[in-house]
Amino acid sequence: MSAPEISLFPLVELQAVSNAHNEWVALIFELAPDAGDSFQATLTLLKTPDVFAALAPLECILPVPQPHLLEQSQLEDLPPNRIILRVPSGACSDVAVQRKLANYAEAGYRIMVEGVAEGSAATMCSARSLMVDASLTLPPVLALVAQSGPHLATGMGSEERIADCAKAGFSWFTGDFALHPSQDSNIGDGTSRKRLLALLGLLARDADSRELEVLLKQDPALAYHLLKLVNSAAFALSSPIHSFGQAINVLGRRQLQRWLQLLLYARQQDDGLANPLLPLAAVRASMMEGLAKQLGWDRDQQDMAFVAGVFSLLDVLLAMPMTEIVAALSLDLDVVMALLDRAGPLGDLLKLVEQPNGADLEQAGISRETYWEAQLQAYHWAIQVSRNI
């Protein structure tokens, strides 16, 4: 594929794709505008050692904006069972493109058409799936039934919209719906809020293990998730753990704090679905810690970076203003500034994690390649967290 030379390591936004149970099933690679040829830029990212192992078992949806230029040699190092080639619907009417994509499909690569192609063009490209912005309108029913799927609905801003799209035939979803939970999904009970804030306060001031035990026993859901976690494959213990005291001893103080901060997001929702905020909080926390380490910050500063990342979604989780949450906790001033105003060194780092751009990365002294490595590690950890909690 001929393409303009890429002078900079590409920046990518990884968009998580969820199924109807809020479980991650795939990642969309969205490249920054300065990446040049987006498929070639994606190949640069995928040359990272063990990248597919890090993102396993998720499938990778790669942009192919010019499928007529795609060559077999570019696909040789990509595992067909993990790759979905995303092509624009407008290119599907080209007979040469149809033949080329059909050949790649025969070799095991799956084709996803972005948008709705005319007539039978998607079928002629051997496409299995459609990727459609269904935020406002749904595609024709015939467009979905013509391919086996799974079909991906983008622009999902709410759980209600996901339900509508699921009825229409979509089974994969992406969007910012996790940041806009329904009222039923929030922790609406005042007693629960107070208990969670109390627990967060104990964690923030490194309270005695016995104090943590008392609060854990008052929260059956949180206690269940903690015991489930320490008995999971993530810790591979020779004998099961049955008490909170044992769990605390096994994890250690530092790890206990981190896992409990994440476990707050794992509380079972009324509908029984996984909380989509959990992996997002894990990504932010891990990226913050990883970038802090790359910047040469000491261990305490790295811990504060982790806390700022994992707490940055508490206002969504608890349906409370961040000012009220921060007022109830004994947090370091740098963490408070980051959470309230995205100010200070931690606030600057949090902004980079939320919305990176080349100029800000350069100003922070973080290379694009370093950012990608932290991003990859963060998604790897978030995948593992989601599977073990």
> Do 136 and 157 have their domain in common?
yes
Residue 3 placed within a domain: no
Domain housing 110 = 12-179
> Do 319 and 368 have their domain in common?
yes
187 touches 317 (CB < 8 A): yes
Question: Of the residues 158, 179, 200, which one is the last residue of a structural domain?
Answer: 179
Q: What is the pLDDT of residue 252?
A: 76
Sign of the CA dihedral running 330, 333, 335, 336: positive
CATH number, residue 146? 3.20.20.450
Q: What is the pLDDT of residue 2?
A: 42
Question: Of the residues 139, 157, 179, which one is the last residue of a structural domain?
Answer: 179
> Do 170 and 127 have their domain in common?
yes
Residue 197 placed within a domain: yes
Q: Which residues neighbour 224 within 8 Å (Cβ) at sequence distance 6 or greater?
A: none
- The predicted-structure confidence for 27-82, as pLDDT tens digits, reads as follows 999 998 888 899 999 999 999 999 999 999 999 999 999 999 999 899 988 999 99
Q: What is the pLDDT of residue 184?
A: 61
> Do 149 and 259 have their domain in common?
no
> Do 337 and 362 have their domain in common?
yes
> Do 250 and 175 have their domain in common?
no
Beta strand ranges found along the chain (DSSP E): 12-18, 24-31, 59-63, 83-88, 110-114, 129-133, 152-154, 172-173
Residue 90 placed within a domain: yes
Question: Is residue 19 over pLDDT 90?
Answer: yes
Residues 200-233 as b/e (b if ≥16 CB within 10 A, e otherwise) read bebbbeebeeeebbebbeebeebbebbbebbbee
> Do 158 and 206 have their domain in common?
no
Of 176, 155, 175, 181, the closest CA to residue 314 belongs to 181
Orientation of helix 244-251 relative to helix 253-263, angle to 10°: 110
Tokens of 2: 């001929």
Residue 239 placed within a domain: yes
Question: Is residue 160 over pLDDT 50?
Answer: yes
> Do 232 and 352 have their domain in common?
yes
> Do 46 and 188 have their domain in common?
no
Rounded to two decimals, what is the model's pTM?
Answer: 0.89
Of 188, 145, 181, the closest CA to residue 161 belongs to 181
Residue 4 placed within a domain: no
- The predicted-structure confidence for 230-277, as pLDDT tens digits, reads as follows 787 667 677 787 777 777 777 777 777 788 788 888 765 556 678 899
> Do 290 and 361 have their domain in common?
yes
The number of distinct structural domains making up the chain is 2
pLDDT tier, 114 (very low <50, low <70, confident <90, very high otherwise): very high
Of 225, 230, 223, 273, the closest CA to residue 249 belongs to 230
d(CA 263, CA 259): 6
Residue 6 placed within a domain: no
Question: Is residue 215 over pLDDT 80?
Answer: no
Q: Which residues neighbour 255 within 8 Å (Cβ) at sequence distance 6 or greater?
A: none
30 touches 17 (CB < 8 A): no
Question: Of the residues 117, 146, 179, which one is the last residue of a structural domain?
Answer: 179
- The predicted-structure confidence for 315-348, as pLDDT tens digits, reads as follows 998 888 999 988 888 788 999 999 999 999 999 9
CATH number, residue 338? 1.10.3210.10
- The predicted-structure confidence for 346-377, as pLDDT tens digits, reads as follows 999 999 999 999 999 999 999 999 999 999 99
Summarize the confidence of residues 291-298 as an average pLDDT: 96
> Do 61 and 107 have their domain in common?
yes
> Do 59 and 133 have their domain in common?
yes
Residue 7 placed within a domain: no
